[in-house]
């Protein structure tokens, strides 16, 4: 027991001295580890966030996990995985509301460390100039996200006024929702959507 108390006193919990920056929709790792490295598998680990009620984001005790409803199925710890002493928390599909200061705590060791998460948002960039085309030609209507963001898991809609020109959702095109006049004439560049390209190709243009 004396050795364990002494070890806890000498161990430091290290977070991040720099803010962690992520974009909406990203997966992000909030780093935190014990130094020198000791196993935290059987420790109670609490990740909390300032302003959140109840304050805990992810609570680990005796192998059981609890999560705040707004983070349900969106956080994961790595206590039983190498490297030893890793108490980092991974957050999936980041939201704007996830921004803030997080605290990682090991109550039994009386240790805690802060990690700040900054969440940015991509902007949709189209063409600043009109795109000109002749009747019956094919045309690409340029559009991308800046900074780039993987949009393969998001929904994308192209509209002309109230008319749905093209719909992409659940990782595939949705022709059922598409206006009849555009069926079979539109496509996205799906191999480039991981880089934020949501340009639309329209074939056989008519008036």
Q: Do 42 and 114 lie in a common domain?
A: yes
pLDDT at 170: 86
Q: Mind listing the pLDDT tens digit for each residue in 75-91?
A: 999 887 777 889 999 99
pLDDT at 95: 93
Q: pLDDT tier at 9 (50, 70, 90 boundaries)?
A: low
Residue 32 structural domain: 2-120
Q: Mind listing the pLDDT tens digit for each residue in 65-76?
A: 999 999 999 999
pLDDT at 200: 98
Query: Which domain-ending residue is among 69, 103, 120?
Result: 120
Q: Do 94 and 24 lie in a common domain?
A: yes
* Residue-level length of the chain: 207
Q: Do 12 and 106 lie in a common domain?
A: yes
Per cent of the chain over pLDDT 90 is: 67
pLDDT tops 90 at residue 148 = no
Q: Do 37 and 113 lie in a common domain?
A: yes
Query: Which domain-ending residue is among 93, 120, 147?
Result: 120
In a domain, 207, yes or no: no
From residue 190, give the alpha-carbon distance in Å to each of 153, 169, 204. Answer: 11, 12, 20
Measure CA of the first residue to CA of the last residue in the chain; give whole Å: 82
pLDDT at 4: 46
Nearest to 104 by CA among 162, 30, 38: 30
In a domain, 12, yes or no: yes
The string of DSSP codes covering the chain is: -HHHHHHHHH-EEE--SS-EEEETT--EEE--EEES----TTS-EEEEETT-SS-EEEEEETTEEEE-GGGTTTEEE-TTSSSTTB--EEE-S--GGG-EEEEEEEGGGTEEEEEEEEEE--EEE--SSPPP--TT--EEE--EEES----TTS-EEEEETTEEEEEEETTEE-GGGS-GGGTTSEEE-GGGGGGTB--EEE-S---
Q: Mind listing the pLDDT tens digit for each residue in 98-109?
A: 999 999 999 998
Contact 89, 114 (CB under 8 A): no
Q: pLDDT tier at 136 (50, 70, 90 boundaries)?
A: very high
Hunting for tokens 């992810």 — which residue is that? 58
Query: Which domain-ending residue is among 73, 105, 120?
Result: 120
Q: Mind listing the pLDDT tens digit for each residue in 53-63?
A: 878 999 999 88
* pLDDT (average), residues 180-188: 96
Q: Do 20 and 114 lie in a common domain?
A: yes
Mean per-residue pLDDT over the chain, rounded: 89
What is the C-alpha separation between 177 and 34, in angstroms, rounded?
52
Q: What is the CATH number of the domain that holds 139?
A: 2.60.40.10
Contact 196, 144 (CB under 8 A): yes
Hunting for tokens 């190709």 — which residue is that? 201
Q: Do 110 and 194 lie in a common domain?
A: no
pLDDT tops 70 at residue 140 = yes
* pLDDT (average), residues 163-171: 93
């Amino acid at each position: 027991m004396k050795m364990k108390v002494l070890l806890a006193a000498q161990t430091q919990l290290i977070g991040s001295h720099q803010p962690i920056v992520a974009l909406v929709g990203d997966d992000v790792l909030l780093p935190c580890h014990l130094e020198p490295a000791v196993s935290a598998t059987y420790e109670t680990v609490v990740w909390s966030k300032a302003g959140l009620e109840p304050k805990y984001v992810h609570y680990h005790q005796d192998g059981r996990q609890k999560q705040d409803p707004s983070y349900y199925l969106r956080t994961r710890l790595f206590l039983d995985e190498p490297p030893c002493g890793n108490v980092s928390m991974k957050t999936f599909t980041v939201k704007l509301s996830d921004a803030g200061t997080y605290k990682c705590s090991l109550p039994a060791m009386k240790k805690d460390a802060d990690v700040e998460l900054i969440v940015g948002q991509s902007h949709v960039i189209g063409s600043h100039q009109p795109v000109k085309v002749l009747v019956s030609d094919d045309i690409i209507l340029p559009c991308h996200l800046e900074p780039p963001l993987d949009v393969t898991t998001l929904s994308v809609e192209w509209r002309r006024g109230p008319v749905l020109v093209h719909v992409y959702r659940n990782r595939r095109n949705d022709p059922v929702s598409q206006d009849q006049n555009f069926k079979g004439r539109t496509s996205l560049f799906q191999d480039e959507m991981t880089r934020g390209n949501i340009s639309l190709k329209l074939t056989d243009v008519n008036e």
